[in-house]
Amino acid sequence: MSSTTSNPTLANARIAVLGYGSQGRAHALNLRDSGLDVVVGLRKGGPSWERASAEGFTVAEPGEAVRGADLVAVLTPDMVQPALYKESIEPNIKAGAALLFAHGFNVHFKQIAPREDIDVILVAPKGPGALVRREYEIGRGVPSIWAIHQDVTGQAEAKAKAYADGIGGGRALLIKTDFKEETETDLFGEQAVLCGGASSLVQAGFETLVEAGYQPEIAYYEVLHELKLIVDLFYEGGIARMLEFVSETAQYGDYVSGPRVIDAGTKARMKDVLTDIQDGTFARNWIAEYQAGLPNYKRFKQADLEHPIEQVGAKLRARMSWLQAGAAKAAGEPLKKVG
């Protein structure tokens, strides 16, 4: 479905989208369908190059894509961005162009020092690429946040909003932030709640039931499988909707037992996590880990893969035909954001 954007700021601009993963593909397709001129920058020979070409884009090596572009959107993983900037962006981006990120990590933690003659902006949809594309195609959009780090042309805000409009965010909601707030809250959410907090809570709950003598299969359903039902209710209408749709027994258990598990000590440790993010400790550790070849990262990941809940879960999920159908449909569209 094509829909020309009504925002004229980028109407005559060439946009280089670097990366063609979940977000990169969605942004490129939406921008093109909004009537904007898009070139995709990729390393030659990879599957992404072939896919972008097959989907009708002009595809070029990153440096060539950047050369002459009026806006360069960096939609590659965080840890490859500093080298990409040094090798392909900094020598080629023209004065007065805009450099756009979807996550502020490298600018905020000074792994990238953008040239002083360009605008530096951020636009981040609050959803995975597949959702950004799907909502655009049906005439809606995903709320997006935007920020300005550097405005040399006086048009940085207009460019950020025009880009957000081009990917569909303006149809929903645009929220102004800054690189610091976006980076630090994003990292905290991932670590304390969405990924680190949730997975550790699930594992601890599973271990508690199994160690008490309950069947691993029952434990899996109670602490992991059914979590989706609760999260969907959160997503649709907040905590109030969740409480509306669970039993009174579950509500009472929520009130009296939730604070016993997630207590003041938990919140204090969350504050420690936030402090490590704010003072740069996490960023320094993660950069050092990546540069060392990810030895601890690989060890942590393997331990998670070997946890008994994964072994039990794999067997149970194989018997749930609706999950297999959903996985097949989502193949090639990982629910992953940049950053």
Q: Which residues are catalytic?
A: 103
First-residue to last-residue Cα distance in the chain: 28
User: Is residue 48 a known part of a binding site?
Assistant: yes
User: Is residue 129 a known part of a binding site?
Assistant: yes
For the record, the structure tokens of 267 come out as: 């919140």
User: Is residue 302 a known part of a binding site?
Assistant: no
User: Is residue 22 a known part of a binding site?
Assistant: yes
Give all strands (DSSP E) within 113-265, no chain letters.
Answer: 119-125, 144-150, 174-176
| Contact yes or no for 164/123 (Cβ under 8 A) | yes
User: Is residue 258 a known part of a binding site?
Assistant: no
Closest-CA residue to 34 (of 180, 166, 232, 177): 166
CA gyration radius for the chain? 22
CA-CA distance, 24 to 21, in Å (whole number)? Answer: 5
User: Is residue 34 a known part of a binding site?
Assistant: no
CA-CA distance, 66 to 94, in Å (whole number)? Answer: 8
Concatenated DSSP letters of 92-121:
TPPTT-EEEESS-HHHHTTS----TTSEEE
CB-facing half-sphere around the CA of 270: CA atoms within 13 A: 16
Concatenated DSSP letters of 288-325:
HHHHTTSHHHHHHHHHHHTSHHHHHHHHHHTT-HHHHH
CA-CA distance, 225 to 228, in Å (whole number)? Answer: 6
User: Is residue 248 a known part of a binding site?
Assistant: no
Closest-CA residue to 157 (of 168, 167, 166, 146): 146
| Type of residue at 126 | K
Which residue ranges are tagged as binding site for NADP(+)? Answer: 20-23, 43, 48, 129
Which residue ranges are tagged as binding site? Answer: 20-23, 43, 48, 129, 186, 190, 222, 226, 247
Which residue ranges are tagged as binding site for Mg(2+)? Answer: 186, 190, 222, 226
Which residue ranges are tagged as binding site for substrate? Answer: 247
